[in-house]
């Protein structure tokens, strides 16, 4: 019997499912993919695109084209909520879509709670497309004046944005901006001391200021106010304060974890509705909380694909094993990276080269599907 598989978001955790979309159609099922963009941007290369190491084409994957080519439907829209009883998905445009099996890969967003008033010249680290608009605006500003750049947040996104903004300006060689990271408690606080020291060294060498022990309280166009009351002027502001899972699950009264992500069991399956699955930043994995890193989304791919097919065809589900520690490499601009896996930690050109090699290979594999 023909069933309807609906995929919300064509992100990192749906890559293998998208690659094998034809196999669902071959079994007689209908597949619909819903997303707010025709493309999915690979976040690992986002800061590199900001710094012009990569073009937008290098880092994006044509979701709509891949879906249509294999006989699926692509709906350019945003899902706002679902009703698990009538099995309906509600879109921003208003029209509902019904499903038999549903899978979420709707990702995460950077909260704008601190932003007060107009939003001109304020850019968030996600969605990755935003970094392209930020790049255009930054280039406009530094062509006319010495620019103050404020980066709010103390995690890897802040480090990578600072490094790649610096790269962008250095390559142009006109007015060098004044870059300040408002790091909250401490820069890269959840990383080993060795990685933190490397990050400080690189940033300080480039005159990038790091403000710590003072959280930002309010972000307005042109200024950042800290909890201490200190006010800092900034011509362009990046918000990189950490991400939260999509709001769809709360809106839909689905079971969620403490962070608001869809609560899923070891099969990446919603704990209350067996026909709903999910992967990537938008889920809360019941067995153990997972970091919001693309690595897990990528590791979830084959299990998600298998379990969606098994649910449609009546097969056995496979459990997801998050695996051990993972490799992280930060692109700090200037063709340099910081690499860390367990006790192996080093920085420099080799670290960037390894990241560049891995990321380009990953993208090539999925961009192949577009042909």
Ligand X SMILES: Cc1cc2nc3c(=O)[nH]c(=O)nc-3n(C[C@H](O)[C@H](O)[C@H](O)COP(=O)(O)OP(=O)(O)OC[C@H]3O[C@@H](n4cnc5c(N)ncnc54)[C@H](O)[C@@H]3O)c2cc1C
Given a contact cutoff of 8 angstroms between Cβ atoms, the answer to whether 212 and 155 are in contact is no
17 binds ligand X (CB under 6 A): no
Q: Which of 76, 115, 139, 295 binds ligand X (CB under 6 A)?
A: 295
Q: How many helices and strands in the chain, by DSSP H and E?
A: 11, 25
Q: How far is the CB of 160 from ligand X (least distance, A)?
A: 6
Both tokens assigned to 131: 């970094």
293 binds ligand X (CB under 6 A): yes
**C-beta of 53 vs 108, nearer to ligand X:** 108
Contacts for 179 with CB less than 8 Å, ≥ 6 apart = 149, 151, 162, 165, 166, 206, 207, 208, 209
Q: Which residues of 312-332 are buried (b: 16+ CB within 10 A; e: fewer)?
A: beeeebbebeeeeebebbbbb
153 binds ligand X (CB under 6 A): no
Strands 30-35, 178-182: parallel, antiparallel or unpaired by DSSP? Answer: unpaired
Q: Which listed range, 172-180, 192-200, 292-300, 315-323, lies at the site for ligand X (CB under 6 A)? A: 292-300
**C-beta of 233 vs 251, nearer to ligand X:** 251
**C-beta of 27 vs 93, nearer to ligand X:** 93
Q: Which listed range, 100-108, 111-119, 183-191, 195-203, lies at the site for ligand X (CB under 6 A)? A: 100-108
Cα–Cα separations (whole angstroms), residue 273 to 32, 130, 288, 302: 19, 34, 20, 21
The label of the residue with tokens 């986002």 reads 46
Q: Which of 5, 21, 31, 78 binds ligand X (CB under 6 A)?
A: 78
Q: How far is the CB of 148 from ligand X (least distance, A)?
A: 21
Cis peptide before 127 (omega within 30 of 0): yes
**C-beta of 267 vs 362, nearer to ligand X:** 362
**C-beta of 238 vs 267, nearer to ligand X:** 238
Rounded CA-CA distance 182/360 in Å is 31
Cα–Cα separations (whole angstroms), residue 269 to 34, 183, 194, 280, 311: 19, 36, 38, 13, 10
Contacts with ligand X by CB under 6 A: the residue count is: 35
Q: Which listed range, 185-193, 222-230, 280-288, 345-353, lies at the site for ligand X (CB under 6 A)? A: 280-288
Q: Which listed range, 36-44, 137-145, 214-222, 315-323, lies at the site for ligand X (CB under 6 A)? A: 36-44
241 binds ligand X (CB under 6 A): no
280 binds ligand X (CB under 6 A): yes
Q: Which listed range, 42-50, 134-142, 190-198, 227-235, lies at the site for ligand X (CB under 6 A)? A: 42-50
Q: Which listed range, 105-113, 198-206, 223-231, 252-260, lies at the site for ligand X (CB under 6 A)? A: 105-113
Using the Cα atoms of residue 275, residue 295, residue 302 and residue 49 in order, give the sign of their dihedral. positive
**C-beta of 35 vs 150, nearer to ligand X:** 35
The label of the residue with tokens 């944005």 reads 161
DSSP code for 72: -
Contacts for 102 with CB less than 8 Å, ≥ 6 apart = 5, 6, 8, 82, 87, 89, 275, 276, 277
292 binds ligand X (CB under 6 A): yes
126 binds ligand X (CB under 6 A): yes
What DSSP element (H or E) covers 107? none
106 binds ligand X (CB under 6 A): yes
**C-beta of 222 vs 348, nearer to ligand X:** 348
Given a contact cutoff of 8 angstroms between Cβ atoms, the answer to whether 202 and 332 are in contact is yes
135 binds ligand X (CB under 6 A): no
Give the per-residue contact string, 303-342, with ligand X (x = CB under 6 A; - = no).
----------------------------------------
Q: Which listed range, 3-11, 172-180, 202-210, 212-220, lies at the site for ligand X (CB under 6 A)? A: 3-11
What DSSP element (H or E) covers 8? strand 4-8
Rounded CA-CA distance 81/70 in Å is 27
Rounded CA-CA distance 295/346 in Å is 20
Using the Cα atoms of residue 196, residue 198, residue 201 and residue 204 in order, give the sign of their dihedral. negative
Q: How far is the CB of 97 from ligand X (least distance, A)?
A: 11
> Given the rule CB under 6 A, which residues bind ligand X?
8-13, 34-37, 40, 43-44, 46-47, 78-79, 105-108, 125-126, 157, 160, 246, 248, 280-282, 292-295, 297
């Amino acid at each position: 019997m023909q069933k309807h598989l609906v995929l919300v978001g064509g992100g990192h955790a749906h890559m293998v499912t998208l690659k094998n979309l034809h196999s669902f159609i071959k079994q007689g099922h209908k597949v619909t993919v819903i997303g707010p963009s025709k493309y999915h941007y690979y976040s690992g290369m986002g800061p590199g695109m900001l710094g012009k190491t990569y073009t937008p084409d290098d880092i994006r994957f044509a979701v709509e084209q891949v879906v249509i080519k294999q006989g699926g439907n692509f709906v350019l829209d945003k899902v706002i909520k679902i009703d698990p009883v009538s099995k309906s998905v509600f879109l921003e445009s208003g029209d509902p879509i019904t499903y038999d099996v549903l899978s979420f890969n709707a990702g995460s967003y950077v909260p704008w709670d601190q932003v007060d008033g107009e939003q001109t010249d304020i850019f968030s680290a996600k969605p990755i497309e935003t970094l392209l608009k930020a790049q255009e605006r930054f280039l406009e500003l530094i062509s006319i004046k010495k620019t103050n750049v404020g980066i709010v947040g103390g995690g890897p996104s802040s480090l990578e944005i600072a490094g790649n903004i610096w790269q962008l300006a250095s390559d142009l060689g006109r007015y060098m901006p004044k870059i300040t990271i408002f790091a909250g408690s401490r820069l890269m606080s959840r990383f080993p001391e060795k990685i933190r020291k490397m990050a400080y060294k690189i940033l300080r060498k480039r005159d990038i200021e790091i403000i710590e022990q003072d959280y930002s309280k309010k972000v307005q166009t042109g200024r950042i106010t800290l909890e201490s009351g200190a006010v800092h002027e900034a011509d362009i502001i990046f918000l990189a304060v950490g991400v939260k899972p999509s709001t769809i699950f709360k809106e839909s009264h689905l079971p969620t974890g403490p962070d608001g992500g869809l609560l899923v069991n070891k099969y990446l399956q919603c704990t209350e509705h067996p026909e709903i699955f999910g992967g990537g930043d938008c889920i809360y994995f019941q067995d153990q909380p997972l970091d919001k890193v693309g690595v897990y989304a990528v590791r979830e791919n084959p299990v998600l694909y298998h379990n969606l097919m098994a649910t449609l065809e009546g097969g056995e589900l496979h459990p997801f094993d998050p695996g051990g520690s993972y490799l992280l490499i930060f692109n700090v601009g200037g063709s340099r990276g910081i690499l860390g896996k367990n006790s192996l930690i080093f920085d420099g050109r080799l670290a960037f080269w390894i990241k560049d090699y891995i990321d380009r290979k990953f993208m090539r594999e999925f961009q192949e599907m577009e042909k």
